[in-house]
Amino acid sequence: MDTTNNIIIIDLEATCWNGKIPPGQTNEIIEIGICLLDTQTGEVTKNKGILVKPERSEVSPFCTELTTITQDLLDREGISFVEACEIVRTEYQGHQLTWASYGQYDLNMMKKQCKFRDIEYPLSQNHINVKDLFQKTRGLRKKVGMKGALNILDIPLEGTHHRGVDDAKNIAKILQWSLIKEKMTNR
C-alpha cells in the first residue's frame, strides 16, 4: 500500500440515548466506518463498516432510529473493540497513515475507549479535522455538519446518514475537495 498519498477516513457510531444515559451504561463505539482516500486520484477504497459489540451498554431504540444499527445486528455480526482496533492497525496501517474524521469527536472517542480498555491506540498521531479544514478552505464564518458541507459543495449524500460505513465515504469527498482547494490557494 502506498502510504504517501493515502489518508484513512474514520467515522464512528456509538451507543446513544434520547435524554440521560441509563444507569450502568456508557457511550461505546458500535461501528467504525473506515475507508482509504488516495489524495492523488480522489479514489476511495477499502470502505468498510466494522461492527463492534458494546460491552457496557445496549443499543437504544433512539440509537437504532438514528443509525439503523440494532442490538440484534451487533450480537450476530459484531466483533470486540480489541478485534476492531486490530483491523484498523493491520488492514489499514492505522498507526502509520495520517487519518481524518469530521470534527474532534471520533479522535476523542477512540482515545477514550482505548484508554478505558487499556489497549494500544491503533491510529497515528497525525489527524486531520475535516470540519475545521472545510470551514477554513471554504471561508465559512461558522462550522457546518457533514451533511451541510455536502450541500454547500452540491455533492449528494451517499448511503445512510449516521452509518459510519457511508459517512466515511462522504467525509472523504469533502476532504478531497478541501485538499484540492487548499493546494490551489497555496500556489
CATH number at residue 103: 3.30.420.10
36 located within any domain:
yes
Q: Please count the structural domains in the chain.
A: 1
Backbone angles phi, psi at 110, to 5 degrees: -60, -45
Q: Shortest CA distance to 129 belongs to which of 143, 114, 113, 148?
A: 143
d(CA 68, CA 141): 33
143 located within any domain:
yes
pLDDT band at 36 (very low <50, low <70, confident <90, very high): very high
21 located within any domain:
yes
The whole-model pTM stands at: 0.95
Backbone angles phi, psi at 91, to 5 degrees: -75, -25
Lowest mean pLDDT among 29-38, 87-96, 117-126, 175-184: 175-184
What is the domain range of residue 55? 6-185
1 located within any domain:
no
pLDDT number for residue 13: 98
Burial of 127 (0-12, 13-18, 19+ CB in 10 A): middle
Q: Write out the three cell numbers for 121.
A: 491506540
